[in-house]
Every structure is written in structure tokens, then in C-alpha cells.
Amino acid sequence: MQSWNTTAPIYQQLADRLAVQLLDGSPPEGEALPSVRQLAGQYLINPLTVSRALQALVDHGLVESRRGMGMYVTAGARSRLRDAERERFLEKEWPVLRAKLARLGIQAADLDWGTPQ
């Protein structure tokens, strides 16, 4: 079961989860996303909330609506998403993380740079 937090609207949280899946290559570019009804059932949320999340992905150019066929991942979506996430990480998360590492005296050699699971 999926859990939702109160820090952001549920549609935005769903859009973020779907974006992570797109970043991981699922579904691949050019392929269809699950239907609104399937996603609503999977995440146990209102279909209108799912539609709003999908519209957020459309607004960012990551998916496109094909009339009568559903939502499809656009060409280059993964690359655009990766670039945007890298920029956000380097501007917002990295400075905070770097400062914490420095406060704790953690050096690059102390970190396990193995392949993520």
C-alpha cells in the first residue's frame, strides 16, 4: 500500500513517483502509461487525482495524451527529466549534504560508492 504525506498535494506526490519511474525507464519512451483507472486502483486514489498528476507530467513535456489511446512517454523524456533532477540536486540538495558531511567529518574515502540497489 502507498502512503502519502501532508507536505504536498497527493497529485504532486503521484506525479513525482511516476517521474521517478520514468527516470528509471519504466515505461520506456514511446510506450503507454497505465490507464487512469489502473493507476487509481494501484494507488488507491481518486481517478481525478490521477488525471491531475498525469496533466502535471504533460505540462512538463514528459508524457503526451493520444486521443482515445491514453498517455505515452515522449521522446527524450528521460533525458530531460534526468537533466532537471541533476540541476535540482546540485542547486538544492548537494549544498546541504556537503555541509552535513563536513560537520560530521566525513570524507569521500569514508563513503561506499558501490552500485545502488
Residue 112 lies in a domain: no
Identify the pLDDT of residue 8: 94
Residue 111 lies in a domain: no
Residue 83 lies in a domain: yes
Residue 115 lies in a domain: no
What's the pTM value of the predicted model, to 2 decimals? 0.83
User: Residue 68 in 3-state DSSP?
Assistant: coil
Residue 42 lies in a domain: yes
Residue 38 lies in a domain: yes
One DSSP character per residue, 18-47 reads: HHHHHHTTSSPTTSBPPPHHHHHHHHT--H
Stretch 5-22: mean pLDDT, rounded?
Answer: 95
Which of these, 37, 63, 50, 42, lies nearest to 10 by C-alpha position? Answer: 50
Residue 114 lies in a domain: no
Overall number of domains in the chain? 1
Question: Phi and psi dihedrals of 30, rounded to 5?
Answer: 90, -10
* Of 2-6, 73-77, 112-116, highest mean pLDDT: 73-77
Identify the pLDDT of residue 86: 96
Side-chain half-sphere CA neighbours of 112 within 13 A: 4
Q: Domain containing 27: what range? A: 7-106
Cis amide bond preceding 116, omega within 30: no
At 2, the pLDDT band (50, 70, 90 cuts) reads low
User: Residue 70 in 3-state DSSP?
Assistant: strand
Alpha helices in 29-109 (DSSP H): 36-43, 47-59, 77-88, 94-104
**pLDDT tens by residue, 33-92:** 999 999 999 999 999 999 999 999 999 999 999 999 999 999 999 999 999 999 999 999
Identify the pLDDT of residue 3: 86
Whether 1 has a pLDDT exceeding 60, the answer reads: no
Cis amide bond preceding 27, omega within 30: yes
Identify the pLDDT of residue 113: 83
Whether 16 has a pLDDT exceeding 90, the answer reads: yes
At 94, the pLDDT band (50, 70, 90 cuts) reads very high
Return the CATH number at 30. Answer: 1.10.10.10
Residue 79 lies in a domain: yes
